Amino acid sequence: MELITLSPLDLLLASGLIVLLGVLTTLMGLGVTRSLLVSSLRMVVQLLLVGLVLEALFAASAPLWIILMALVMGLMAGREVMARQKRRLRGWWGFGIGAAAMMLPAFSITLLAVTSIVRVEPWYEPQYAIPLLGMILGNTMNGIGIGLNQLLDGAWQRRGQIEARLMLGHGHAAAIQPLRMDAIRTGLIPVINMLTAAGVVSLPGMMTGQILSGTAPVEAVKYQIMIMFLIAAGTGLGTVMAVWLGSRRLFDERERLRLDRLR
């Protein structure tokens, strides 16, 4: 069965549901209608632009452009990680830690996937590399954002407990260890829920898209299992790295808690 194409009218009909939701939130006085509509419009513009860019990338299929696209995706995701934090590290640290902890595992795992698991020829084939990286980055971004927010806000709220441990002679790592573990666990909750619910509560997006495009369901399932393993690994490694780097930044070289580094 060939893929059924959607017309602008079809998309307009789907957007009517968002308008209906906006009317409902306005009547309830929730104060989120503007954010809902602006976010929806932003999503449409971003996806249309990405579609045009991907068409150009697929046509060119040049490694330099693929790498440039990957860097832009990683930097934008790093900005989103910083924006989601209630409290953040001052200066470039807030952006740098999140971006580095996300890009390193996401890029490494994507490279492993296209070279050793899917074995794409050439390895930079945009049809595989960009969607895989996007899915891994998106989920890793969520885990890191949640983990860092839990860590930094928790350090502010529980500064008395941390300083008490320091005065009792604990090193900085031991003083913040309970909070660090809580932050990592919290960052991993979404990906654990995703793994638990897959196939029972929800049909994951990649699998659904492949089935709609005519791929055999069993083959789509195999790809989905692969991508979920990659997402879980990227999210876990990224969250651990971000929380560890963030917690280390909260202390100076004399192992004093430095909450003035937050804003």
Q: List phi, psi (to 5°) of 251.
A: -125, 150
Residue 250: both structure tokens together: 């909260």
- Which amino acid makes up residue 155? A
Which stretches of the chain score pLDDT less than 70?
A: 1-3, 200-204, 206
Cβ atoms of residues 95 and 79 within 8 Å: yes
Q: What's the pLDDT tens digit per position in 140-166?
A: 998 999 999 999 998 999 888 988 988
Whole-angstrom Cα distance, residue 190 to residue 208? 20
Predicted pLDDT of residue 1: 57
Predicted pLDDT of residue 171: 87
Predicted pLDDT of residue 125: 86
Residue 146: both structure tokens together: 């949640």
Q: Please list the alpha-helical segments (H only) found in 113-204.
A: 126-157, 159-167, 172-197
The structure's pTM equals 0.82
User: Which contiguous run of DSSP H or E holds residue 21?
Assistant: helix 8-28
Q: List phi, psi (to 5°) of 257.
A: -70, 125
Predicted pLDDT of residue 110: 93
Predicted pLDDT of residue 3: 67
Cβ atoms of residues 33 and 26 within 8 Å: yes
Integer CA distances (angstroms), 153 to 87, 135, 141, 148, 249, in order? 6, 27, 18, 8, 14
Predicted pLDDT of residue 194: 85
